[in-house]
Amino acid sequence: MHLFDNLKKAFSKEPYDAQQAQAMAHLYSWGPMVFQVSRLMIRYGILDMLNAHREGLTQAEIARATGLSDYAVKCLLEASLTLHIVLIDPEKDRYRLAKTGWFLLRDTMIRADIDFNHDVNYKGMFVLDQALEEGKPAGLKHFGDWPTIYEGLSSLPEQVQKSWFGFDHYYSDHSFDEALEIICANKTRHLLDVGGNTGRFAMRCVAYNPTLEVTICDLPQQIGLMREATQGKEGAERIHGVGMNILDEQNAFPTNKHYDVIWMSQFLDCFSEQQIVSILRRAAAILDDTNRIYIMETLWDRQDYEPAALSLTMTSLYFTALANGNSKMYNTDDMTRLIHEAGLEIESIYDRIGNGGHSIIVCKR
């Protein structure tokens, strides 16, 4: 397996002594409570309050400020203490913010993940085993009766949509500016954004280059959301939409224009291996010697930090239980094999795009 050097080191030898390993196993076994306590310490503003009062606060002061009962605050604080989210000064009975609590409070990536996990994933994860066994998103059922989450996205409850888009946007938005430098380096006139969603990348494209035309190809429901989101904005007249289900093999890629760039950002991870090959074959069919497919993905084995690899392998389980039951965050070996199976060649790979661990794989015919 291809792994960045740091991950090779981290994952090929035992990181814990026996006591640490046992402590980690305990932590995993209480996962749902650990998650909910972390989330609620943010939601009730307790971490915020502790951050503002470096001298610490008593349980009674926190109860008063939150309006929660003494019982509720005591349960949350004692659990947080054993999770090292807060510290206590036992002489004065005052609670202070610990480093882990600070990261829960301030790390914007962690916040996007918490919202996504609570609103989108939490209930569905209960049937992860069923999803793994059937290859179907068994956890999606409580939201609606769609074959995949994508058909249902525009009708999910408002808070669920907010967290889904928050998560999706968080990860790709930070990479868009650097990505633009790479894909628009040559004279790009027409760009095809496959899975362009609500048009956020397209908006950046038309702002970046005053003559660039962007065509977004996505499910018809998403094209509707995109039109709403871009309406009246500068450059929106250069953003076009093609509503189509890419999984229907009868649907060819548009040939109404010569697309210099075929852009797929966080798109292929929404599909199974077989589906990816089918999509890439159809994309390859509109390539000539001058244009390229640019695939932007967070490949979990190309991460500089262990927590990033962890977030990505966990995100795979969202795909299993909620999204479609058959896709994942891929690794380099798998993605390379699929690209080759589709008859494409990898011309180059750019790593460490944006502040996250995105890679852009440039493919040619």
Ligand X SMILES: C[S@@+](CC[C@H](N)C(=O)[O-])C[C@H]1O[C@@H](n2cnc3c(N)ncnc32)[C@H](O)[C@@H]1O
CA dihedral sign, ordered 158, 80, 124, 328? positive
Which 24-83 residues touch ligand X, going by CB under 6 A?
A: none
Q: Which of 166, 196, 241, 357 contacts ligand X by CB under 6 A?
A: 196
Which 124-183 residues touch ligand X, going by CB under 6 A?
A: 150, 168, 172
Q: Which of 218, 260, 297, 301 contacts ligand X by CB under 6 A?
A: 218
User: Cα separation of 146 and 136, whole Å?
Assistant: 11
Residue type, 292: R
In whole angstroms, the minimum distance from the beta carbon of 320 to ligand X comes to 15
Q: Which of 80, 121, 209, 222 contacts ligand X by CB under 6 A?
A: 222
How many residues sit close enough to ligand X to count as binding (CB under 6 A)? Answer: 16
Q: Could you give the 3-state DSSP secondary structure of residue 29?
A: helix
Q: Which of 80, 163, 197, 331 contacts ligand X by CB under 6 A?
A: 197
User: From residue 242 to residue 281, what is the string marking binding to ligand X with x (rule CB under 6 A)?
Assistant: ---xxx-----------------xxx--x-----------
Binding window for ligand X (CB under 6 A); candidates: 115-123, 191-199, 231-239, 281-289: 191-199
Q: What is the DSSP string of 283-344?
A: HHTT--SS-EEEEEE--GGG-SSHHHHHHHHHHHHHIIIII-SS-----HHHHHHHHHHTT-
Those residues with Cβ within 8 angstroms of residue 83's Cβ, 6 or more apart along the chain or in another chain: 34, 37, 38, 100
| Residue 195 in contact with ligand X, rule: CB under 6 A | yes
User: Cα separation of 362 and 222, whole Å?
Assistant: 26
In whole angstroms, the minimum distance from the beta carbon of 110 to ligand X comes to 19
User: Cα separation of 106 and 22, whole Å?
Assistant: 29
Binding window for ligand X (CB under 6 A); candidates: 97-105, 216-224, 230-238, 287-295: 216-224
Those residues with Cβ within 8 angstroms of residue 1's Cβ, 6 or more apart along the chain or in another chain: 301, 331, 333
44 or 150, CB closer to ligand X?
A: 150
168 or 178, CB closer to ligand X?
A: 168
Question: DSSP letter at 57?
Answer: B
101 or 357, CB closer to ligand X?
A: 357
37 or 276, CB closer to ligand X?
A: 276
Rg over CA atoms, the chain: 23
In whole angstroms, the minimum distance from the beta carbon of 97 to ligand X comes to 33
In whole angstroms, the minimum distance from the beta carbon of 258 to ligand X comes to 22
User: Cα separation of 67 and 73, whole Å?
Assistant: 9
In whole angstroms, the minimum distance from the beta carbon of 167 to ligand X comes to 9
In whole angstroms, the minimum distance from the beta carbon of 173 to ligand X comes to 7
Instruction: List the alpha helices (DSSP H) in 135-272.
Output: 149-152, 158-183, 200-208, 220-230
In whole angstroms, the minimum distance from the beta carbon of 8 to ligand X comes to 28
Residues lying near ligand X in the complex (CB under 6 A) are found at 150, 168, 172, 195-197, 218-219, 222, 245-247, 265-267, 270
